[in-house]
Each structure stands twice: as structure tokens, then as C-alpha cells.
Structure 1
Amino acid sequence: MDTVTHTLFGMTLYGAIDKKNESKEMKKSLIVATMVGSQIPDIDVISRLWDTEGLYQMWHRGITHSILMVPIWAFILTALCTLIFKVKDYKRLFFISGIAVFIHSTSDLFNAWGTGYFEPLSDIRVTFGVIPIVDVVFWVIMLTAMIFTRFKKKNSYKSFRFAWVLIALHISIQSLQGYFLYQQYEGKYDQLALSASFVPWNYTLIGKKADVVEITDDALFLDADHLYTLHSKENTILDDLFIQNPDARTLYKWSPFVVIVDDEEKVGIYDPRFYMDGESFLFEYVEK
């Protein structure tokens, strides 16, 4: 998910806690636990500073987003709160911090970018593609809860808890529809990827069979709309590309499948899940 959504997740998690009898120090600790916990897996963006081998695509949403890192991040945040605010409710802080980190890492599984959810045990990028990276439904639910609690401050945490119920329901509906569509297309292709549209209940299916990639917009309750047919030069040897452009090797490993370009001007690869208006923004190539 995008940074704004993760921030709203943290605010909504903080709002869902009943803080009526908490001290000021504990409330500050809970803010750190929820807000920092909702962002800390994305600390991997600083790896750009020392990436000289084109590995950032694998590092971002890699080990820092692993499910195995949840208790480690929770421990770090609990220790931080204990040192700064001198609070001693370790178990509760650890639990809340862990929930915040878990929501971040797990929510990122549902969009097309995916995460290294099981690193370092596996470097497979887990992606479901049933939620867009920026989901306005999430924003509407959480912002509505915040606005509502401005007028109804008594037991306001209940409104935020209800918001989490709606978020879970939205994810479930999106996931079920995406699953059914995926099943309908799976038999037609050798490889298939799903990417949710910004419009709720609409999806893009990207299927590859031999050297042909087809991109189709579809929804359970609407007719399919074929968008593009792409041709991949599957017989192209990519060794020189990988040597001259290390980012291309990383993209090849990171993507479920790629389209290979080999024409008079360039040789390269791109991820067709992000193809729009004649190009993909994940395109790595070298000029001939």
C-alpha cells in the first residue's frame, strides 16, 4: 500500500484502542507503537543509498516486510517506548506494535507489487493482486470514522473498531471476486497474474501463453474488455542485457513473468502488469 494508507492504518489502529484510563506516557507510547509500527517496514527505502548492483527491486518490500520480522520490530518499538516514556506495560506495547507491523506487511500482499513475506526462508514475492496500491475505499472508511468521532467523542474507539470490520469485509469481497476471475482465466494461459483496478470490483488479468501476452479488464458483473496483445521475443539471449543493466536481472527475478523486447534500437524486458498507453514503467533495457 502507499504511505498515506499505511499512515491512516496507524491512526485507525490508535483510534481503536480504549485509552480512557491510560496515562499520558502510555498514550504517547501507543502513538509510537501504532504510527511507527505502521511505517517501519518501509525503512528499506534507504537501501537505495548503497545499491550499486541493481538489487533495490528485491530489497524493497523484502526482509523488512517478512512475517518473521514482526516480533523483532515489535520488540524494538517496545524497547523504544520503555526507554523514552518510562512505561512498563511491555506485553501490551509489544502486542499493539506487532499488530501495526503485521497490518503493514500483510496488507502489502494484496496488491500487485507483492512482498518477500517469507524471507529469508524464501525469496518468492508473494502477491495476490486483489487490492490496488492506492485504495480509495480504505481512505473513505477510515476518514469517515475520523470525521464521525469528531462529533461523537464518547466511546469513539468503537467507531474505529467498526471501521476495521468494514476494511476486513472490503478485502474479503475484493479477494473473492478476484479469485473467481482468476479461476475463469487460469486454463487459458501458461502464466497468469491479477492486478486490481482503482475502481472497486474491477481487475486486470495479464495472461501469457508461449510468446503472446494478453491484457484484459474484467469484472464479475461486467463484460470483459480486451486491452492489449503483446508479443515477447522469447528466443532472445539476455546475458548481455543482465551484464550491462543489473536492474534487468533483478526485474526478471522479481516479476511473475516478463515481455522481452528485441528490436533495432534496444533489447530489454518489462513487467506487463504495469503496462499502459504503450509502455510499462517497469522497463529495463540497453540500447544497441
Structure 2
Amino acid sequence: MDTITHTLFGLGIYAAVDKRDMKKHEKRALLLTVVAGSQIPDIDVISRLWDYNGQYQMWHRGLTHSVFLVPLWGALLYWVSKMIFRHQMKKLLWIGMLSVFIHITSDVLNAWGTGYLEPFSQIRLSLGTVPIVDFVIWAVFLAAFLCWRMGRTAQHLVFRIAWAVILLHVSLQTLQGAYLLNTIGERYEQAALSAEFLPWHYTIVAKSGKDISIGSAAVWKEYSIHTVLESNEDADLSPLYAQNPRAAALNTWSPFVVVVENGNRLGIYDPRFYRNGESFLYEYIDK
């Protein structure tokens, strides 16, 4: 998910906790824990500073997004908040773990994916059932805030309802996306899903031989192909990998790629991010 959504998740957790019996320094410790926890897996962006081998694509959302690191992140957040605010709230350990878990699990739901099982598996889990920027989630949190400010219901009760609505939304998105990918994907060699910004609408990218089809899908309508790409599967990619290591990382990271070879360029790109004639995940060399 995007940074704004992750921040909203942290603030949403803070609002959903009953703080009526908490002291001021305890509330501050809670706020620090949930906001930091909602962002800390993305600390891997600093790997750009030492990425001399083109491996950032694999490092970003890699080990720091592993579900096995959730207890370690939670313990770190608890220790930092305790050192700063001198609180005695044991539950902050679990709340910190929850904020990290929501971050890394929500990232699995979009097309970018994460190394959710690292270091035991290098597979990138990417369901693609929720867009990276989900405006429904934004709208639910905004509605909860307005209801709390204008009403008389306790803040934690309003935001617990908001979390239930978000869980329902994500579940419906995921179930529909999984159904479409299963029913449409069985017609092709490979298929990948990417949720669109409009709820319950998806883009499905499917590969059959050299042809890669991109189309829109929803449970109530047929899969409609709007773009067909041709991949040069016979191209020798060794010069590309030798001169542009980022291409090798992209090929490992993506479910499948489109291979481009013409008189001027040799490259590969991820068709899930194909927009306006080109994918923004495109690595190539000029001949």
C-alpha cells in the first residue's frame, strides 16, 4: 500500500484503542508505537544507498516485510517507546506487532507483492486483489472520523466498526479477485491479477506462448481483452543481464515478463504495470 494508507492504518489502530483510562504519556507511547509500526517495514528503501548491483527490486518489500520478523519489530517498537515514555503497558508489544502485521499483510494484497516468507522462501507473494492506493479505505476512515466528531459515540467504538467495514471490503475484493483469476487463468499458461481503483474491477494479464493479453474483468461480466502484446521468447537476454543487472532482478521478481528485441533495444518489462503503451517497470539496454 502507499505511505498515506499505511499511516491511516496506524492512526486507525490508535483510534480503535480504548484510551479513557490511559495517562497522557501512555497515549503518546501508543501513538508512537502504532505510527512507527505502520511504517517501519518500509525502512528497506535505504537499500538504494548501497544498491550497486541492481538488486533494489528484490530488497524493497523483501526481508523487512517478512511475517517472521513481526515479533522482532514489535519488541523493538515496545523497547523504544518504553525508553522514551517510561510506560509499563505490556499490551504495546502486541499492538506494535499488530501494526506491523497489518502493514506487511496489506502489501501482499496488491500487485507489487512482498517477500512475506523470507528468508525461508524467495517467492514474492502478490495477490493483486487490492489496489496500491485504495480510496475505499480512505473513505471509510474519513467517514469514521466525521461520525466520531459529529456524534456522541466513543471514538474507539466508531473506529472498531470502521475496521470491520475495511475487513469486509478487503475480503470481498480478495474473494472476487481469486475467483476471476482462477476461472480466467485456467485458459492460459500463466495469469496475474491487478486490482483497479474502481472497487470490484480488476485487470488480468494472461500469457499463452508469445502472446500476452491484458483485459478487464468483473464477476458480472466477461473478460474483455483490450491489449495483446507479443513477447520475443527466443531472444538472448544474457547481454541485457550483463549490462543491466536490474533486468535480472526484475525477471526474478515478476510473475512473467514481456521480452522486447528490435534494432534499437533489448529489454524486458512487467505487463501488469503496462499503461499508455509502456510499463513503468521496464529495464533495457540500447544496442
TM (norm. structure 1) is 0.98
When the two chains are superposed, the root-mean-square deviation of aligned CA atoms in Å is 0.9
Report the counterpart of residue 60 of structure 1 in structure 2. Answer: 60
Q: What corresponds to 2:82 in structure 1?
A: 82
Aligned equivalent of 1:172 = 171
Aligned to 2:260: 261
Between 70-79 and 216-225, the greater mean CA deviation after superposition: 216-225
Q: Answer whether contact 2:34 2:95 (CA < 8 A) is retained.
A: yes
In the TM superposition, what is the alpha-carbon distance from 1:222 to its structure 2 partner?
3.0
Secondary structure of the residue aligned to 2:191 is strand
User: In the alignment, which residue of structure 1 is the partner of 2:109?
Assistant: 110
SS in 2 for 1:129: coil
Alpha-carbon displacement from aligned partner over 1:186-209 (angstroms, at most 9, x marks no partner): 221111100001110100110001
| 1:151-209 Cα deviation digits (max 9, x unpaired) | 23541110000000000000111111111111221221111100001110100110001
Q: Identity of paired residues, percent?
A: 49
**8 Å CA contact 2:185, 2:191 repeated in 1:** yes
Name the structure 1 match of 2:23: 23
Counterpart CA distance in 2 for 1:156 and 1:79 is 27
Partners of 2:162 and 2:66 in 1: CA distance: 26
1:88-110 Cα shifts (integer Å, max 9, x gaps): 12x20100000000000000000
- Measured after TM superposition, the shift of residue 87 of structure 1 is 0.7
**Does residue 1:150 correspond to 2:149, yes or no?**
yes
Q: Counterpart amino acid of 1:166?
A: V
Deviations 1:248-278 (A, max 9, x none): 0000000000000000110000000001111
- Kindly provide the amino acid, as one letter, of the partner of residue 152 in structure 1: G
User: Which ranges in structure 2 are unaligned for 5 or more consecutive residues?
Assistant: none
Q: CA shift at 1:212, angstroms? A: 0.8
What residue in structure 1 maps to residue 44 of structure 2?
44
Residue 184 of structure 2 contacts residue 223 of structure 2 at CA under 8 Å; is this kept in 1?
A: no
Q: Which residue of 2 aligns with 1:228?
A: 227
Amino acid paired to 1:2: D
Kept in 1, the 8 Å contact 2:40–2:100? The answer is yes
How far 1:148 moved relative to its partner? 1.4
Question: 1:197 corresponds to which residue?
Answer: 196
Equivalent residue number for residue 14 of structure 1: 14
- For the residue of structure 2 that corresponds to 1:127, the secondary structure is coil
Q: Distance in 1 between matches of 2:102 and 2:152?
A: 26
Q: Name which of structure 1's ranges 216-225 and 9-18 shifts more when overlaid on structure 2.
A: 216-225
- Which residue type is aligned with residue 121 of structure 1? F
Whole-Å separation in 2 of the counterparts to 1:265 and 1:192: 29
Is 1:72 matched with 2:72?
Answer: yes
**Aligned counterparts of 2:106 and 2:39: Cα–Cα separation in 1:** 12
- Structure 1 unaligned regions, length at least 5: none
Distance 1:34 1:40 in 2: 10
Cα deviation 1:8-42 (Å, max 9, x = unaligned): 11111100000000011110110011111000001
**d(CA) in 2 for partners of 1:112 and 1:162?**
27
| In 2: Cα distance, 1:223 partner to 1:124 partner | 31
The residue type paired with residue 226 of structure 2 is L
